[in-house]
């Protein structure tokens, strides 16, 4: 008998096909009205789980007594309770590497959009407001040659630094738990304290994973010490930003603008105050969402499940 694998949300067809060759796949697509009861019934007999966003915690695990592996179709794994999984002997995996350039493209695009007010002025044209040559009050700010600060320069941060250095001649500051020589040698990046990064950068790009240590890393004090001319970009997770403090900083003109791909609550409620600022560019957590990259992430997540169910070490094991 084939092992049972429950799949949830964005598991691309190419990966479903690959999984079906070896497992009995029970797929619950995101956004469809599926029966929670059936989902739980399938979890009762599941050997593996693959999916996006769903919390894999004590409660989830209590429905899945035979689970051997839970495979996240994302590099971030703040939805996983690693301690609970390890305690129950469940392998946890994610999908690092295959999305780095794609996410870096998105973050760079958002930075450009905020600096040059692209989404705001797109609306200006479509609303028929473009009547004369662009007035000064609609001008943007430069990106090239201005200082980029990256908080959490991991694999994706390094790709952002590459674009900034090679394409835009930007001096780069970074703040990590430890120094990253490769970043300094390849892109002339300078390691500095969080305080120095925030006070000196024209663009502050937050890319840290969401952990208890990075919770609300950007709060009132952090926004206050940023330059008034600086733009804040969040490509990390909503949990790393105190959104009330961000709203306050925007209202009081403590920063010039922001570009946000992630939020405390996703989807962000339509009446959220962050959505009222013309100088805030918002995107719907689209960092990795291109066809090729989403296929590759799903395929890697499937590979992790299949390796675990074959008694092998999955390539992206997060716990031992």
Catalytic positions: 237, 266, 285
Interaction pattern, residues 140-169, with ligand DGY; x per rule: CB under 6 A: ------------------------------
Q: Can you name the residues that pair with 25 across neighbouring β-strands? A: 5
The verdict on 257 binding ligand DGY (CB under 6 A) reads no
**Residues in 69-108 at the binding interface with ligand DGY, rule: CB under 6 A:** 74-76, 99
Give least dist CB 99 to ligand DGY, A.
6
Measure CA 194 to chain center: 20
By CB under 6 A, name the one of 12, 287, 294, 306 that touches ligand DGY: 287
Give least dist CB 199 to ligand DGY, A.
28
* DSSP track, 279-291: TEEE--S-TT-SH
Interaction pattern, residues 15-54, with ligand DGY; x per rule: CB under 6 A: ----------------------------------------
Q: How far apart are CA 211 and CA 79, in angstroms?
A: 10
Q: Which is nearer to ligand DGY, 99 or 231 (CB)?
A: 99
Q: Which is nearer to ligand DGY, 76 or 157 (CB)?
A: 76
Residue 108 preceded by cis peptide, ω within 30 = no
Give least dist CB 73 to ligand DGY, A.
8
Q: Which residues contact 35 (CB under 8 A, 6 or more apart)?
A: none
Q: Segment contacting ligand DGY (CB under 6 A): 68-76, 107-115, 142-150, 184-192?
A: 68-76
Give least dist CB 232 to ligand DGY, A.
18
Give least dist CB 294 to ligand DGY, A.
9
**Tokens matching residue 170:** 């930007």
Q: Can you name the residues that pair with 6 across neighbouring β-strands? A: 26, 49
Q: Which residues contact 288 (CB under 8 A, 6 or more apart)?
A: 74, 75, 99, 102, 103, 106, 294, 297
Give the closest residue to 80 by CA, choosing from 94, 65, 101, 66. Answer: 94
By CB under 6 A, name the one of 288, 296, 298, 304 that touches ligand DGY: 288
Q: Which is nearer to ligand DGY, 47 or 261 (CB)?
A: 261
**Tokens matching residue 124:** 């200006």
Indicate the SS3 state at residue 171.
Answer: coil
**Tokens matching residue 180:** 């990253």
Give the closest residue to 86 by CA, choosing from 52, 45, 49, 58. Answer: 58
Q: Which is nearer to ligand DGY, 50 or 256 (CB)?
A: 50
Q: How far apart are CA 256 and CA 202, in angstroms?
A: 10
Give least dist CB 240 to ligand DGY, A.
12
Q: Which is nearer to ligand DGY, 154 or 219 (CB)?
A: 154
By CB under 6 A, the count of residues binding ligand DGY is 6
Using CB atoms within 10 Å of the CB of residue 166, give its burial: 0 to 12 exposed, 13 to 18 middle, 19+ buried: exposed
Binding site for ligand DGY (CB under 6 A): 74-76, 99, 287-288
């Amino acid at each position: 008998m084939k092992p049972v694998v429950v799949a949830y949300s964005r598991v691309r067809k190419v990966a479903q096909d690959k999984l079906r060759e070896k497992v009995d796949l029970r797929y619950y697509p995101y956004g469809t009205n599926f029966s929670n009861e059936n989902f739980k019934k399938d979890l009762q007999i599941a050997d593996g789980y693959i999916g996006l966003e769903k919390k894999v915690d004590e409660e989830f695990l209590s429905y899945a007594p035979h689970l051997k592996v839970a495979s996240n179709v994302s590099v971030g794994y703040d939805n996983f309770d690693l301690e609970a999984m390890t305690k129950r002997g469940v392998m946890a995996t994610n999908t690092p590497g295959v999305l780095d350039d794609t996410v870096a493209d998105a973050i760079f695009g958002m930075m450009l959009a905020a600096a040059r007010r692209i989404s705001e002025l797109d609306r200006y044209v479509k609303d028929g407001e473009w009547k004369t040559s662009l007035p000064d009050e609609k001008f943007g700010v430069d990106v090239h040659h201005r200082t980029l600060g990256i908080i959490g320069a991991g694999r994706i941060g390094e790709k952002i630094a590459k674009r900034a250095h090679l394409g835009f001649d930007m001096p780069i500051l970074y703040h990590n738990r430890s120094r990253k020589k490769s970043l300094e040698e390849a892109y002339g990046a300078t390691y500095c304290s969080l305080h120095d990064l925030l006070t000196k950068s024209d663009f502050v790009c937050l890319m840290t994973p969401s952990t208890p240590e990075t919770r609300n890393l950007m709060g009132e004090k952090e926004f206050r010490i940023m330059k008034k001319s600086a733009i804040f970009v969040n490509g990390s997770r909503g949990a790393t930003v105190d959104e009330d403090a961000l709203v306050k900083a925007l209202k009081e003109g403590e920063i010039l603008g922001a570009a946000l791909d992630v939020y405390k609550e996703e989807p962000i409620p339509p009446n959220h105050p962050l959505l009222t600022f013309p100088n805030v560019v918002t995107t719907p957590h689209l960092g990795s969402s291109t066809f090729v990259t989403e296929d590759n992430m799903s395929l890697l997540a499937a590979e992790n499940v299949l390796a675990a169910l074959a008694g092998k070490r999955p390539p992206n094991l997060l716990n031992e």
